[in-house]
Homo-oligomer: A and B are copies of this chain.
Amino acid sequence: MSVPDRARVTIADIAAEAGVSVPTVSRVLNGRTDVAASTRVRVTHLLQKHDYQRRGLGRTTQANLIDLVFNDLDSPWAVEIIRGVEDVAHEAGVGTVVSAIHNQPTSEQRWWQNVQSRASDGIILVTSHLHPKLQAEVHRFLPTVVVDPSGLPSYDVPTIGATNWAGGLSAIEHLVGLGHRRIAIITGPPRLQCSRARLDGYRAGLEAADLQVDPDLIHTGDFYHESGFAGGKKFLGLSNPPTAVFASSDQMAFGVYEAARQHGLRVPSDLSVVGFDDLPEAPWMSPPLTTVRQPIAEMGMLAARTLLRLVRGEPMETLRVELATQFIVRESTAAPR
């Protein structure tokens, strides 16, 4: 059994010896510029003296951990993110600690205490809902990467997202290509950047086909099943209902299926439906769902690779990466009657 080097120096040891705060040592480690030059020299010297870089990754005889943090683990794509992150971390000999903070300040605080006590090397946040003060503190102490940011991140942290606008556009191009003219959308929560980008892709697709945006055909959802069902019911009750619905999440698309079933309509012969995500269950739907694929596991993989680079102190070429979406044609779309 290999023996972890329990005596290795910690950031706190360096801080104590240098007579500075722990955040200051973190700032030096993260290459930040808001540290006095003399302090930087002193801390860097101590880091070298104690061979602090030996904490670096890839040494399989040392404990190395990263933290992967969700608001809640009820997101259907949480497991996809975990799979991507774990795949890269496992290969690098790094353990992935998974946490859910439930948007509760006490839970966030406890998580942050735990992170510090277990000496995590870095953080992947699958949320931007951390309390701003805590987020700033986390970012000050540890390298951080944000996956699928729901808004513009406030700190200079690397973020990994998907091309939401292009994905929305591809859905509408597909439906227009099949001959649809009355195409409805169920959006995500408007406060989220990804929702707004998908809606703008929808608008751009209609505009490119010289179609008007009809406010009756826009329903504001929240990405969950129930709001897709509600939007589907509303659309099918219109005097001039749409022939196709673009749901901004697969879960909402499944809700539209159920609204169609309750109206005695069949997908796709009576109503075409397109989703967004390509959840693992999208191909199991009846009929299998045509959707915009987000490369969720790949986003997790890239987040892990980016974090490991940050931990090693490698420079980042860019802070913001969007992975391409892909349009997946299955059986839930057809030409309108």
Q: Which residues of A contact B (CB under 8 A)?
A: 1-4, 6-8, 10-13, 22-23, 60-65, 67, 73-74, 76, 78-79, 82-83, 86-87, 90-91, 93-100, 107, 110-111, 113-119, 141, 225, 251, 254-255, 257-258, 260-261, 280-281, 283-288
Contacts and interface: CB of A to CB of B under 8 A. Distances in A.
Contact of A118 (B1, B65, B284, B287): B65
A7 B6 contact: yes
Number of identical protomers: 2
Nearest to A73: B83
Given A6-B6, A82-B82, A61 B117 contact: yes
A97 B100 contact: no
B2 A113 contact: yes
Contacts of A110: 60, 90-91, 93
A281 B258 contact: no
A133 to B, nearest CB: 15
A95 B73 contact: no
A76 B261 contact: no
A216 to B, nearest CB: 24
Contact of A65 (B11, B94, B95, B261): B95
A100 B82 CA distance: 10
A257 to B, nearest CB: 4
Contact of A100 (B10, B87, B251): B87
A279 to B, nearest CB: 8
Nearest to A137: B1
Contact of A93 (B117, B280, B284): B117
